[in-house]
Amino acid sequence: MPPALAVLRAALRRTHSRPDPSAPPPPTRLTTTRTTDPDHLAAYRRLCGFPAGHATLPLPYPHVLAFPLSMRLMTARDFPLPLLGLVHTSIEIDQYKLIRPTEELHLSVRTTALTPHRRGTEATLLTEAASTDGELLWQSRSTYLARHKTRPTSTASAPRTEPESAPEPEPAPAPAPAPGENWQLPAGLGRRYASVSGDRNPIHLHALTARPFGFPRAIAHGMWTAARCLAEQERGETRTPTHTHAPTHTRIEFKAPVPLPTTVTYSTPTPHTFELRSPQGKLHLTGATGPTDAPP
């Protein structure tokens, strides 16, 4: 079945169900083996701004390689959240070794937690990339929010982030954007990233498909904004032998949607943090990088 039809079927199946954050996560774990296609990698690098010719994969690229697995997981009958309108609120990436484009990777995806959120229910998806001999090279934890009415309880978790694609209440006055680099994002960016990533969530494709979910315009994919920021980080790095083998941890939080078309400002408040803001100073994304422990 084509991906678009699978998405529609999953959405219709869950239209009248409300997620239960107290339920245990489903036990489904999906796996596959992938080798990078050079043309696909080149297209991803161009669209996200990663330098051409690097001998290792861009940091977020395994997420794209594993996205077909994520789609299968989220369209499965036991996945507890409705797929359409699901919003990406954060991603944490641990990279234990840099990955060469020619390496064969064993990829796996599973749901590890359901968590109450003031706007609904969040699911955490764990994605892992291992070598052919089983060595864990890379892993990520993504949180996805399904918005629905909630009952006030003393045990509800405090809000961690504002999601990459959830409409917000009237914001407080924002500070002026820090000095940085301005990026012009075209109206068709969501469709271009969808063709590379396989993420065809209608909120990213066109104003007509975004409006039923509460967005007057299409919005940028959170993973494109994350990748574009990480590409700027990579451009500033010097890949010495010591850096090459140092495990790293990256956390990105999607604070507010990025409507298309628009202009955004990328800045680095410190050498190990970065953010994306609107020209008026509204915060869209924050990120931080640092060392991590050895793989579990």
pLDDT higher than 80, residue 236: no
Choose among 211, 210, 205: nearest CA to 192. 205
pLDDT higher than 90, residue 27: yes
Segment 163-188, tens digit of pLDDT = 555 555 555 554 555 578 999 999 99
The stretch 23-45 carries a mean pLDDT of 94
Tell me the C-alpha distance between 210 and 206, whole Å.
6
pLDDT higher than 50, residue 63: yes
Q: What is the pLDDT of residue 185?
A: 97
Tell me the C-alpha distance between 294 and 296, whole Å.
6
Q: Who has greater pLDDT, 153 or 65?
A: 65
Give the DSSP per-residue string, 45-112: HHHHTPPTT-SS--TTHHHHHTHHHHHHHHHSTT--S-STT-EEEEEEEEESS---TT-EEEEEEEEE
Contact by Cβ (8 Å): 108, 31: yes
Peptide bond between residue 26 and the one before it cis (omega within 30 degrees of 0)? no
Give the three-class secondary structure for 254. strand
Mean pLDDT across the chain? 85
Q: What is the pTM of this model?
A: 0.84
Q: Who has greater pLDDT, 139 or 295?
A: 139
Segment 200-229, tens digit of pLDDT = 888 999 999 999 888 999 999 999 999 999
pLDDT higher than 70, residue 262: yes
